[in-house]
Amino acid sequence: MGIVYVWIDGETVESPSAADRCGVYVFERVHTLDYRVRRLAEHLARLRAACEQAFGFAPICSAGDLADDIAGLLARNRMTRRVSCPVKISVAADARMIVECESATFGAGCYLRAKMPSLAALQYDMPMPWGGYPSSLSEQAEAMADLRVRISGAEKAIRLDGRMMIAGSPWSVPFLVKDNHVFAPSESTSVEYLTACEAIRAAGLPLHVRALSHRALDNADEIFTVDIMGMTSYSRIGRRPLSSTAASRIASYFR
């Protein structure tokens, strides 16, 4: 891989990974296509709220200026305009704002991924939840959970809280499907959750938000998650196979 550029407080510099060196941070991932950022104002509002919760201050940049900076960074890194690319916007405890381009996807827009990972339930807590906003700590906790369930042969962990209730990550709420009804264990202000709800309703499927115990996993026909780049439907939970009929239908309504 050639030189990678990142944006730090208004300056574009060479760096392999600036966020790895900024200590504790909060962040938002955004979806870009043709150097344009989707729903940036909503992401920036969440990032400001996360900073206030975690660090007691909020970034002052505008969505318009940040959109221009992101477009310039994508161009500097020679990212293709034809497919979607995730961009990570981080704010560190020392108030530095860092923008990084992540690996481009294989298509344009949000879509249902072809790969269907296997799933296992795991009880663990998110460290310093800070109102459910994404942080370096929650990102590391989820990565450790995924490593833990690989011991049992699964590829991805679905989080259970201390009461053994289904819980999501700050950037990916799990959805369960039973008899063409979609269930979410909680509401979220994340763009990912709002995007999923819009697509579910557009697909004409009833959506119910209610607390779900771990036993609901034994009855679900499908389980899927939605992140900023698209949808992942899971092939099995434990040893029980899952389908993806509703997920395919919902994915066709992503905007």
pLDDT of 64-91, one tens digit each? 999 999 999 999 999 999 999 999 999 9
Claim to verify: residue 133 and residue 235 sit in the same structural domain: yes
pTM recorded for the entire structure? 0.92
Q: What is the CATH number of the domain that holds 235?
A: 3.20.10.10
- 106 occurs within a structural domain: no
Residue 3 has pLDDT above 80, yes or no: no
Claim to verify: residue 97 and residue 185 sit in the same structural domain: no
Structure tokens at 43: 């992401």
In the predicted model, what is the mean pLDDT of the chain? 92
Residue 21 has pLDDT above 70, yes or no: no
- 228 occurs within a structural domain: yes
Claim to verify: residue 115 and residue 90 sit in the same structural domain: no
CA–CA separation, 86 vs 100, rounded Å? 9
In contact, 147 and 121? CB cutoff 8 Å: no
Claim to verify: residue 85 and residue 136 sit in the same structural domain: no
Structure tokens at 67: 């959109």
Helices (H), 56-99: 63-76
Claim to verify: residue 245 and residue 139 sit in the same structural domain: yes
10 Å CB burial of residue 204 (0-12, 13-18, 19+) is: exposed
Claim to verify: residue 213 and residue 235 sit in the same structural domain: yes
In contact, 6 and 100? CB cutoff 8 Å: yes
pLDDT in tens, 129-163: 777 899 999 999 999 999 999 999 999 999 999 99
Which CA distances in Å does 39 have to 22, 45, 120, 188, 196?
26, 10, 32, 16, 14
CA–CA separation, 55 vs 191, rounded Å? 22
Claim to verify: residue 138 and residue 218 sit in the same structural domain: yes
Query: Where among 34, 68, 101 does a domain terminate?
Result: 101
> What is the span of the domain harbouring residue 54?
5-101
Claim to verify: residue 70 and residue 10 sit in the same structural domain: yes
Claim to verify: residue 174 and residue 83 sit in the same structural domain: no
Claim to verify: residue 149 and residue 222 sit in the same structural domain: yes
10 Å CB burial of residue 87 (0-12, 13-18, 19+) is: buried
Claim to verify: residue 44 and residue 125 sit in the same structural domain: no
CA–CA separation, 243 vs 234, rounded Å? 8
Number of domains the chain is built from? 2
Claim to verify: residue 91 and residue 115 sit in the same structural domain: no
Query: Where among 47, 68, 101 does a domain terminate?
Result: 101
- 22 occurs within a structural domain: yes
- 188 occurs within a structural domain: yes
Residue 195 has pLDDT above 70, yes or no: yes
